Amino acid sequence: MRLTLHQDEDTRVHRLRARMHGPLCGITTSMGFLTRYPGGPRLLVGTADMTGVHVRQDQPPPKAGSYHIGGYGIFPFESHIRSLAETLERYSGYAAALDGRFEIHHLSYAELAARGEPVLPPDAFRLFTDEQYERAGFPFDPFDPEAPSGWLRVGSLTDGSRCWVPAQRFLLGYVREREEPWTLPAVTTGTATHTTPQAALRAALEEVVQVDAAMGHWYGRTESVLIRPDARTRHLDAIVDTYFPASAPRPEFHALPSPDLPGFTIACLLRQPPGLVPEVAIGLGSGASLARAMYRALLEAAGVQWLAAWVAVEQAVQGTPADQDIYDLEGNVGLYATSQGARTVERRFALHTERAASELPPDDDRPVKEAVRTLVDAFEHSGKQLYFGDLTTRDLRALGFHAMRVWSPDTVSLPLPSAVPAAHPRFADYGGFTDDVPHPYP
């Protein structure tokens, strides 16, 4: 006879926190929760910091909070588990680079190609315009096929082949060599942790689709779809009625369509009355269920609302110029906390159509394995390469988690706000690139 122990969610998350959280040797070194401000939503907004991976990389310590780890929810379990899982996600990208999981070779693109090795086509490296490279303070270098760079060989989910890809674009924890050109850094887009490999892979794929759709909408010419609530969103409406202040404008949800990839990408706009900071905050959510994607976007918008208020105060104290280029993922949040920034957001989302929730495509409630197959097939059928790596280290596996990384050179990952890859061919699928006004997403 096989016995199974069932534990409630609060017990499970407290056991996990006990194994992860410790100021000296925990993967999570600190955790905290923000106090709800008067008139704010009744949500738990959690924050966390990660262990000092910089020490093993011989790098200077990062700014406090720079890993952007947080978790939001209407129940304590949600906020806790999201904070802990996001810590593991960030950690996996660095730990996998440090433990020798990927063999990195340093040589030039030209040498790889001359050997007949499988490499990406040259178009995959033409990311920025000449005007961007000439801009004072622009952080990235043009791609030089003769310059030695770090490369790692990863597998393709679409055709089973293996290809050499730039280590700096695939591994979050990669530290480039002194003379290596800095062409584009890896970000967490496409990295996810979960309790099974398939669930982690699905979450990673959905994030790739989500960020691509969000960047395609912001910088392209497509219109969003304003979602009109109806019976399909009744449970979400009940949450808003219960946990969000009646004095504030209702959350507004927009679907951001992808031209060729499945699932829902939702942007939630949280507004506040004039005079409060931020006037508007935007959160993203995605998935195969409309209501679930909307809920995720709502929670993230609430977290961004807190972050925007904090960054706006910090920038006011430091006297940060509002018109300077933004090469981090906080300064843009402060920019859009202002009245001027809010007007920019409102102008972009004013270009929309409107549909009732029940008129949007149906949810996909199939098992995880089938959902992953559908996503991978969509990349293949639309001519996109999709590479993956298993970032699960021994310590993650001991905690009962798996970390998966997926990356496609044919979609747009989250860029630094003033360094969007304007020459990326993907923008043609969104009607063409418009201008490089910094995006509002952290």
Look up the CATH number of the domain holding residue 331: 3.30.160
Q: Is there a contact between 172 and 97 (Cβ–Cβ < 8 Å)?
A: yes
Question: Does residue 207 fall inside a structural domain?
Answer: no
Expressed as residue numbers, the domain containing 310 is 222-359
| pLDDT at 40 (0 to 100) | 79
| pLDDT at 58 (0 to 100) | 81
Question: Does residue 322 fall inside a structural domain?
Answer: yes
| pLDDT at 323 (0 to 100) | 59
| pLDDT at 189 (0 to 100) | 94
Mean predicted confidence (pLDDT) in 72-77: 90
Question: Does residue 341 fall inside a structural domain?
Answer: yes
Greatest distance between any 2 Cα atoms in the chain: 70
| pLDDT at 60 (0 to 100) | 82
Question: Does residue 10 fall inside a structural domain?
Answer: no
Question: Does residue 327 fall inside a structural domain?
Answer: yes
| pLDDT at 208 (0 to 100) | 98
Question: Does residue 248 fall inside a structural domain?
Answer: yes
Q: Write the pLDDT tens digit of every residue in 3-42.
A: 555 567 888 899 999 999 999 889 999 998 877 767 778 8
19-24 own/partner pairs: CB under 8 Å, 24+ apart: 19/399, 20/84, 20/87, 20/88, 20/399, 21/84
Asked whether the predicted pLDDT for residue 427 surpasses 60, the reply is yes
Mean predicted confidence (pLDDT) in 277-299: 95
- The number of folded domains in the chain is 1
Mean predicted confidence (pLDDT) in 92-115: 91
Indicate the pTM of the whole model: 0.94
Asked whether the predicted pLDDT for residue 325 surpasses 70, the reply is yes
Mean predicted confidence (pLDDT) in 147-165: 96
Check residue 251 and report its DSSP letter: P
Q: Is there a contact between 382 and 209 (Cβ–Cβ < 8 Å)?
A: no
| Cis, peptide link before residue 76, omega less than 30° from 0 | no
Asked whether the predicted pLDDT for residue 236 surpasses 80, the reply is yes
Question: Does residue 105 fall inside a structural domain?
Answer: no
Question: Does residue 159 fall inside a structural domain?
Answer: no
Asked whether the predicted pLDDT for residue 315 surpasses 90, the reply is no
Under the banding of pLDDT at 50, 70 and 90, the label for residue 310 is: confident
72 residue type, one letter? Y
Residue 385: name the closest of 404, 410, 421, 406 by CA: 410
Please give the share of the chain, as a percent, with pLDDT higher than 70.
96
